[in-house]
Structure 1
Amino acid sequence: MQIHVVKEGETLWTISHHYGVTMNEIVAANQLENPDKLVIGQALVIPTISQTTGPKPVIDVNAYTINTGETGAKEIQEVGKYLTYWMPFVYSIQEDGGLTSLDDTAMLQSASAERIVPIMAITNFSATAAGSGLAHTILASSELQDKLLTNILSVMKEKGYQGVNIDFENVFPADRENYNQFLQRAVDRMHPEGYSVSSALAPKISGEQKGLLYEAHDYEAHGRIVDFVVLMTYEWGYRRGPAQAISPLNEIKRVLDYAVTVIPRDKILFGFQIYARDWLLPFVQGQEAETFSQQEAIRRAVQYKVAIQYDPIAKSPFFRYTDEQGRQHEVWFEDARSAQAKFDMVKDYHLRGISYWVLGYPFPQNWLLLEDNFTIRKRI
């Protein structure tokens, strides 16, 4: 694969002629909706002979889903060959140690057909609740922890999950050690039964980092106790915050520089978001950005005839446009260049692999480049 950035005056014909491939091959690789309309700065994957020499790194690839039922099952089928693990989001914990239910039967069937290891994701928070108090209730009681772990094991045995991913967020700093002990308790219960235990971690840059998101996430303890961790290296460009790159590589590098000092590299999954965001300008507190696919980002750049720019520090593409009401917008998204930059970082740091948040946002370039860069491990 090669990546071509569209320049002024170029057409799909001139680009295809330059690389000696057909226009249809470029259209298919990038799923271009209107091949006659390219914009300056648009990154295209060119399906040429791979430039990679020697064996490709072997990695694990995980993806979360938020859609359930047949919709979620279809998302898994579409990219199943690229996945090692799949985690449906989410089984929510309850104050009595119980769990909410999830419509996951069709998804589990898809995962099985694609030889993907299904991992049960549990969490304490929701769209409307931070979950700090709920986490404290569970973490302060060994009795409730035992009940919760018994319920997790029951669901895993009934449905065929092969591990649990623990995503406790907004945990009170005072519960840090209780959280570590819960992880150890989970491992002690799960490992004899043949199940894995993993966790999701906020993107920290030091062990002393302050804030509700960070303080109870003890990188060293998680790295020692669980089988692997998902670093949630995204959401700098938060939907309720000001416009900026969602996953700026310069910030991710700071997280990895710290993480690898206390977590074994072969336990780290690099978090990669695969959605775009559109913010209204100027930012107003309480305003929420629109979230959509990379394909929709390209459609908007084409629709408003604006050039795509590329931030060389964040290694992220973006553009601005004015809508029909005269309002200014700023869009940050991912493209072939930013995906390749992230893959290079996974290689540079010799990480276990990649974890995608979240399926349901088409990004064809990503999957082609992923396969071009890596051999994806299938564990079943």
Structure 2
Amino acid sequence: MEQSNRISDDYTEQCRKSIRRLSMGSSVISEGRTIYDERNQVLDIEEGPELGKGSYSNVREVRRFHSQRSLSISHSTASVSERSLQSASTVFDPNTDPESRSYYYAVKKVRQDLTGSGRKHAAIDLAVEAQFLTSLSHQHIVSIEGVGDEPGSKNFFIIIERLDRTLSEQIRIWQIDTRRITRTMDRSKVKSTMASRMSSRISYAKDLSCALSYLHEKKMIFRDLKPENVGFTHENEIKLFDFGLARELREERKVGRVKFLLSLAGTRRYMAPEVMKGSPYGLPADVFSFSLLLWEMVHMEKPFRNLDAKQHERALVLWRSRPKVSSEVPRAVKSIIVKSWNNDAKCRPRMERVLEKLQLHLESIP
């Protein structure tokens, strides 16, 4: 028991150090105030069924919680959150509040089966995510409602906006819908229906690029853009989530026009070549990852799906191979994809430019 307490104390201290480093000189963390200074402390929580499980964390439904203080952030779940911000003591209970719903919130915790370095990294990632979500406010970024216990402790958790499904799951729904259209719909209507579905998927990609553009304006790099870190609410709004690997780019780590000294991070399938090689990188790495995600959304297929890790690395870095873009993809969107996955990071467009181009394409559709 004594050893367990020492380990827990070490995790909490590591989390404090990580958050302290994040806040020093930060332009994202307002006035350097961290989750240790100002947070919505959750005093009591009733959990529901498990919603998902990742490499480092579990997410469960929130049925009820009581929080002592509110964060000065905005939420998309305004019917609950605006009411929460008016009081120093908030009780969320769908059984007593008919306007509330259990699908509004979820609780995220470090997996209890993790030990050693895995547990430490998971604890730090969750603390970092809590800090960044407290400091950010965007329609297409998942919002945070509160935190419980000390970051790094065994019982630390965060309460976030609940997501109904991931982009991976949504893509499977799109695939089923596509097969239904081609199998059952009158041939004269298939082409226009498929074009409409394509535009809908591009619109979601535009919303996602808006969230990334917001982060990049703050000189924040997400570093792990993939379908499993993109979700949809029950109202079908797309949201970026899981900020454990996100980092604020600091001038002292800059080694080139768009390059910074950063650790290797991300998911292999969506990594930019410079990241995979272990070279310095920056915001263009997110743009590269977005290009593959955009390709996946319009094609409803996994990029590099038939390649193992070594084959993928050779194809990406040595041969500079990229997935083939279908002729059914609108020309403007194809141009965005191809420019955004350029092997030279300096030649990729900024995310704000990607957002602008996607918006112009959607506005041009009759």
**TM-score bracket relative to the smaller structure:** under 0.3
TM-score (norm 2): 0.23
TM-score (norm 1): 0.22
- Does 1 or 2 have the higher relative contact order (CA < 8 Å, sep 6+)? 1
Q: Which has the higher strand share?
A: 1
